[in-house]
């Protein structure tokens, strides 16, 4: 009779994602992962592979369950200009919440691992391109609706918004000062006038 896994793979991946997101790759040991998932080491290895494989699975899980869903929800729930504003506000508001702000798992990974791991760098770059494409879509839709002036160039402005968003996310971890974060958002939104 084949051995059956006695744990929920998605739940274990959620827990591993949370651990890596909070501590980073290097600071999260396999023992930390065993403890936070409640899954023994052999089962983690059998299911996910080594620590790096589990990290990459957790990063992709974050991308699917957090980033992509967030952009889809914003696009479906708000007019274009407000969807862009809400994306920025969502990150800024997390900085004011009590407790440690984990930032964005993708940006944390970009800073920690992308310089040293080509596969992770490519994945993070792809997610950034998708955020840039979200901005460009919102700008085009906003222009078509008359909410964004026709002289605002979608591609160039989307790149600037991406840079502002990444900067904002980093600042939420290092300088979570409300006036500073509000200023970054205000400056980013001026690109759309």
pLDDT-derived band at 98, boundaries 50, 70, 90: low
In whole angstroms, what is the distance from residue 159 CA to residue 129 CA? 9
Average pLDDT over residues 164-178: 93
Same-domain check for residues 114 and 41: no
* Angstrom distance (rounded) from CA 143 to CA 145: 5
Mean pLDDT of the chain: 93
Residue 170 domain-assigned?
yes
Task: Pull the structure tokens for residue 100.
Answer: 């440690």
Per-residue confidence (pLDDT) for residue 96, from 0 to 100 = 64
Domain CATH number, residue 49 = 1.10.10.60
pLDDT at 133 > cutoff 90: yes
* Residue 90 and residue 5 in one domain: no
pLDDT in tens, 29-65: 999 999 999 999 999 999 999 999 999 999 999 999 9
73 falls within a domain: no
Domain hosting residue 94, numbered range:
78-193
Would 67 be classed as within a structural domain? no
Report the pLDDT value the prediction gives residue 46, as an integer from 0 to 100.
92
Q: Which of 123, 130, 128, 117 is nearest to 169 (CA)?
A: 128
Top pLDDT among 162 and 103 is at 162
Determine the pLDDT at residue 2.
46
Check residue 102 and give its pLDDT: 83
Half-sphere exposure of residue 145: CA atoms within 13 angstroms, side-chain side? 13
Q: 101 and 25, same structural domain? A: no
What is the torsional sign of CA 177, 182, 183, 187? positive
The predicted pLDDT at position 82 comes to 98
CATH number where 134 lies: 1.10.357.10
Q: Are residues 26 and 116 in the same domain?
A: no
The domain total for the chain is 2
Q: Verify that 117 and 190 share a domain, yes or no.
A: yes
Quick: pLDDT tens for 147-170. Answer: 999 999 999 999 999 999 999 999
């Amino acid at each position: 009779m084949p051995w059956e896994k006695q744990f929920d793979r998605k739940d274990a991946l959620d827990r591993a994602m949370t651990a890596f997101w909070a501590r980073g790759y290097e600071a999260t040991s396999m023992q930390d992962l065993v403890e936070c998932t409640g899954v023994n080491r052999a089962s983690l290895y059998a299911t996910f592979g080594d620590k790096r494989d589990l990290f990459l699975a957790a990063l992709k899980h974050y991308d699917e369950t957090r980033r992509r869903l967030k952009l889809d929800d914003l696009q479906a729930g708000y007019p274009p200009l407000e969807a862009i504003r809400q994306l920025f506000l969502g990150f800024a508001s997390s900085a004011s919440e009590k407790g440690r702000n984990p930032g964005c798992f993708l940006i944390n990974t970009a800073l920690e691992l992308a310089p040293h791991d080509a596969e992770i760098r490519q994945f993070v770059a792809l997610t950034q391109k998708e955020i840039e494409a979200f901005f460009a879509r919102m700008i085009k839709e906003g222009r078509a609706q008359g909410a964004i002036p026709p002289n605002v160039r979608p591609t160039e402005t989307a790149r600037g918004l991406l840079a502002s968003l990444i900067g904002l996310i980093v600042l939420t971890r290092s300088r979570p000062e409300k006036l500073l974060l509000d200023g970054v958002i205000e400056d980013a939104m001026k690109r759309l006038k």
